[in-house]
Amino acid sequence: MRPAFASFSIAILAACAVQPPTEALPPPNPGGSFELVFDGVIGGRLSQAHTCHGEGISPPVAWTGLPEGTRSLAWVMQVEGQGVTWAAWDPDLDAGALPAGLHPAAGPPIQSWTDEGPMGYQPPCPGPGELRRAQFRAWALSAPLGLPPTAERARAHAERDARNLGTVTIKFTIQGPTEP
């Protein structure tokens, strides 16, 4: 059962690439879409609770309608001027969601490297009044990655891309605190 989310959630339906049907090879994603709910983005902007100016906790994430054959997910959050601030894979798909404030050692999912060094969610930290662009990208995978959190980035990307059944990207902005 999927937990209820605030009415301020942003739900994104994205069409996943589907091969033209052939007799020998059916399309990898019949139905062609999945839904990712990335709570914490309100009106196209990341809530301050998920930045260094707030609690600095990871936002809740939920998924439904995964492509046929999905056995895992992977995701990356990238922030302009900060790079990768969250990378994770292999969540418990049956849970259908992850709560806010996920600790890096809580697992699943496996939370990995960021461009700032530590593993797990690193809150974006724009300066006062600064506006940064960001994106959260998720991949539906045909098999779990099964990689440790210390896996080399190139290997994680190659494994992820080889198992990709569909991708969803959510774009948003992050605003630094306004000066008084």
pLDDT, tens digit (0-9, with 9 covering 90-100), for 143-180 = 999 999 888 889 999 999 999 999 998 999 999 988 65
Which tokens in the block code for residue 44? 């196209």
- Residue 10 banded pLDDT, cuts 50, 70, 90: very low
pLDDT, tens digit (0-9, with 9 covering 90-100), for 97-107 = 999 998 888 77
Alpha-carbon 82 to chain mean position: 16
Q: What is the DSSP code string of 12-58?
A: EEEEPP-PPP-SSS--SSTT-EEEEEETTEETTEE-GGGSTTTT-PP
Among residues 134, 129, 136, 124, the alpha carbon closest in space to that of 175 is found at: 129
Tell whether the model's pLDDT for residue 66 goes beyond 50. Answer: yes
Q: What is the mean pLDDT of residues 110-119?
A: 85
What is the CATH topology of the domain spanning 11-175? Answer: Phosphatidylethanolamine-binding Protein (3.90.280)
pLDDT, tens digit (0-9, with 9 covering 90-100), for 43-59 = 899 999 999 999 999 99
Tell whether the model's pLDDT for residue 19 goes beyond 60. Answer: no
Regarding pTM above 0.85, the answer is no
Q: What is the mean pLDDT of residues 24-34?
A: 47
Q: What is the pLDDT of residue 32?
A: 52
Q: What percent of the chain has pLDDT over 90?
A: 54
Strand partners, 173: 45, 133
DSSP for residue 79: E
- Residue 14 banded pLDDT, cuts 50, 70, 90: very low
Residues 74 and 70: their CA atoms lie apart, in Å, by 11
Question: What is the residue extent of each domain of the chain?
Answer: 11-175
Burial label, 44 (beta-carbon count in 10 A; 0-12, 13-18, 19+): exposed
- Per DSSP, the three-state class of 154 is helix
CB proximity list for 50: less than 8 A, separation 6 or greater: 40, 56, 57, 58, 59, 100, 123, 124
Which tokens in the block code for residue 4? 């209820």
Q: Which residue has the higher pLDDT, 87 or 33?
A: 87
Q: What is the pLDDT of residue 180?
A: 58
Token pair 């960001």: residue: 134
Q: What is the pLDDT of residue 3?
A: 39
